[in-house]
């Protein structure tokens, strides 16, 4: 009788341990959205790490949504640049799905207040405001256009504004025309028959009778 009771107690303990083990290893589909604390603004691309399961790592999408399979009791860590990390332990749920909302706190760094001094040569900001409001920044549009199109303004712009394709093509065309004209003039000057100065010199020699004097010498 005692042996039978021991056997029954052993079976009960065995089944109880198996149920506890099965409960601890229960799988759930863990899903959720990650938002900035106190807002409905999604925190995109958060790194989600299952610390209890070999640091298995996942990533939320651009809308802060994530989903993956985990175990009941797993500790999950959420990290993102500019936010404090958050840890969560998956609770024991009756269903095989667990959905939650994760809020992450921004790490706001408050910088010291910087006061800009009064703009010189004015003694205070109020004086500067009065002088600025008294300025006559308006003007005649025609005078402004003439000033912008003055030779001095155009010369200054020509030094810093690059040439357009049309200007470059026109300049190259003019240069080629000048080179061709100079080449033709040089060729004409090299040919005595086409050189007007050579013809003028020949006519003067005939008038002076230079060729006749040369024949008399021989």
* pLDDT at residue 211 in the model: 58
Longest CA–CA span in the chain (Å) reads: 172
Q: Write out 88-106 in H/E/C secondary structure.
A: EECCCCCCCEEEEEEEECE
Is pTM beyond 0.75 here? no
Mean pLDDT in each 10-residue stretch from start to end of the chain (218 residues)? Answer: 54 52 74 94 95 93 94 95 94 92 88 67 79 72 79 81 77 82 64 65 74 54
All structural domains of the chain, each given as residue ranges with its CATH number in brackets, are: 2-104 (2.60.40.2190)
Let me know: does 132 contact 118? Beta carbons within 8 Å.
no
Q: Using only the alpha carbons of the chain, give its radius of gyration.
A: 49
């Amino acid at each position: 009788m005692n042996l039978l009771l021991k056997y029954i107690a052993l079976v009960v303990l065995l089944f109880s341990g198996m149920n506890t083990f099965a409960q601890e290893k229960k799988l759930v589909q863990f899903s959720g959205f990650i938002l900035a604390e106190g807002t409905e603004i999604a925190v995109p691309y958060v790194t989600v790490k299952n610390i209890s399961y070999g640091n298995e790592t996942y990533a939320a999408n651009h809308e802060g949504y994530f989903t993956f399979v985990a175990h009941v009791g797993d500790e999950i860590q959420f990290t993102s640049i500019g936010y404090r990390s958050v840890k969560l332990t998956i609770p024991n749920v009756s269903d095989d799905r667990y959905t939650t909302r994760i809020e992450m706190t921004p790490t706001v760094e408050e910088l010291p207040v910087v006061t800009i001094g009064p703009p010189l040569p004015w003694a205070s900001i109020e004086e500067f405001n009065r002088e600025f409001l008294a300025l006559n920044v308006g003007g005649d549009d025609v005078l402004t256009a003439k000033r912008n199109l003055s030779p001095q303004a155009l010369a200054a712009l020509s030094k810093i504004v690059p040439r357009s394709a049309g200007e470059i093509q026109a300049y190259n065309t003019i240069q080629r025309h000048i080179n061709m004209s100079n080449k033709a003039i040089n060729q004409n000057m090299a040919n005595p028959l086409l050189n007007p100065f050579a013809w003028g010199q020949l006519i003067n020699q005939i008038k002076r009778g230079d060729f006749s004097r040369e024949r008399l010498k021989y």
